[in-house]
Amino acid sequence: MYCVSFSQFPEIIQMKKVLVTGGAGFVGSFLCDRLIDEGHEVIAIDNFFTGNKANLRQLQNNPNFELMRHDIVEPVLLEVDWIFNLACPASPVHYQYNPIKTAKTNVIGTLNMLGLALRVNARILQASTSEVYGNPQVHPQPEGYFGHVNPIGLRSCYDEGKRVAETLTMDYHRQNQVDAKIVRIFNTYGPRMRIDDGRAVPNFMFQALKGDDITVYGDGSQTRSLCYVDDTVEAIYRLASYSNLSSANRNGFENIPDPIVVNIGNPVEMTVLDIAKSIKDISDSKGMFNCNIQTFNILKNFYQINAAVDLTQFTGSDNIGKYLLSEFKNILIPNITFDIEILPINIYLNIDEKSFGNILDNPLVTPKLIKSLEKQMEVIFVDLESKADFVLEIEIDTKQRGESYSLYTSVAEMSVYLKN
């Protein structure tokens, strides 16, 4: 990340009329506070999907502040000097709830804000994210790194949406000379985070304050760089307050593109386990650390455990559980227990006898067949296909062959399929 010294650029102290989209959200509400403190006139708009009016309660009687319920997917006509486009849910729990709407907010919403900036000659700061780097192969990620991305994954509605938003911002600057800046915000924490955010810090804090065990997924060795919300807002405000760098005043920042694209975050990374320990110490929680190896369904997700494991060597869930415990016993971390649960496989039995009576599909034979299969396969047969993980189809084509000594002789051709 670039450490830009803003002191070398002249401050703009004139009061501005400022639009903050996503103004009732976590970062947006703190930005509104800062702008009001600096003497600016602020209009906050939010659709309140994840934003909360309570985050702006302290500003409701301020004559320089106005709050509007509006979704930026729809155009808005306002006269402003600055635009901070922060509108979009940032937690996977929330942006995956309606991925199409998330993509529309990032693309159509950003397009509307850029169009507004062009019409009223406003400066726009586009809030992007570290997620534009995808699953990076370079650590830490400089602004010039193009990333290692997946355009069709579950998180792509957010990641790729933000990448398109950056593309639109750059093209509005190049084609229409819109005064634009882009900030890529890394992990930010602080007050006003939602308890149901789903990310590590609020999860740990909520569990610690309740006195529950703190759940760390995996072994806790994965790392995060955390930046306090006041520092994030300080960087956003300072970046918006200065004109784009001129060629004569770059002073060591020649690699920063114009318009400015800057990472905002903490260059120091911590392991998730260290973060959990810090929160436990601060909160004086009596809970323990519970390293939760997430619940596995072996047949469906065996690749999550060990892609090299030949599951045919196991004859039952007890043996699989013992194998997993033996694999994890070498991970020696104090006060961490492994919670491993093997889920049963639900199977729906579909018997299709094409001719000559119901040999298997009858109330006397079918229950005995199911009981025998459940015992041998260690699975559970369910009564509805919608409840099943797999469908076991047995097709029987029974043909009468003739009559001999007053007895019928027949032959059955059977096919068995296991379908996902």
Quote the distance between the C-alpha of residue 358 and its chain's center.
51
List residues bridging with 292 in a β-sheet.
Answer: 217
What is the set of active-site residues? 158
Residue-level pLDDT at 308: 39
Strands 188-189 and 227-228, bridge-based pairing: parallel
Q: What is the pLDDT of residues 372-401, one digit of tens each?
A: 877 777 778 888 877 777 788 777 776 555
Residue-level pLDDT at 94: 94
- In order of 2, 10, 170, 242, the CA distances from 249 in angstroms are 16, 11, 21, 12
Q: What is the pLDDT of residues 324-374, one digit of tens each?
A: 556 555 544 445 555 555 566 788 888 777 665 666 677 777 888 788 877
Question: Does residue 100 carry a pLDDT above 60?
Answer: yes
Residue-level pLDDT at 187: 93
Q: What is the pLDDT of residues 107-123, one digit of tens each?
A: 999 999 999 999 999 99
Task: Give CA–CA dist 198/90, Å, rounded.
Answer: 10
Q: What is the pLDDT of residues 137-179, one digit of tens each?
A: 998 889 999 999 999 999 999 999 999 999 999 999 999 999 9
Q: Tell me which amino acid residue 154 is.
A: L
Give the tokens for residue 378.
């260690």
SS3 state of residue 198 = coil
- Answer whether 182's CB lies under 8 Å from 166's CB: yes
Q: Is the pTM of this model over 0.85?
A: no
The mean predicted confidence, pLDDT, of the chain is: 80
Return all residues near 47 (Cβ < 8 A) that are at least 6 apart: 69, 70, 71, 72, 87
- Better-predicted residue by pLDDT, 227 or 301: 227
The predicted model gives 6-27 an average pLDDT of 78
Q: What Rg do the C-alpha atoms of the chain give, in angstroms?
A: 30
- Better-predicted residue by pLDDT, 231 or 221: 231
Residue 59 pLDDT level (bands cut at 50, 70, 90): very high
Residue-level pLDDT at 412: 61
| Domains assigned to the chain | 6-192+226-266 (3.40.50.720), 293-338 (no CATH), 346-419 (no CATH)
- Answer whether 10's CB lies under 8 Å from 239's CB: no
SS3 state of residue 21 = strand
The predicted model gives 263-291 an average pLDDT of 83
Task: Give CA–CA dist 293/220, Å, rounded.
Answer: 11
Residue 225 pLDDT level (bands cut at 50, 70, 90): confident
Residue-level pLDDT at 174: 92
Q: What is the pLDDT of residues 287-296, one digit of tens each?
A: 666 665 443 3
Q: Which of 54, 5, 50 is nearest to 25 (CA)?
A: 50
Residue-level pLDDT at 12: 46
- For residue 26, give the H/E element and its range: helix 26-37
Task: Give CA–CA dist 14/251, Å, rounded.
Answer: 26
Task: Give CA–CA dist 91/192, Å, rounded.
Answer: 14
Least confident of 43-57, 268-282, 307-321: 307-321
- Answer whether 173's CB lies under 8 Å from 184's CB: no
SS3 state of residue 274 = helix
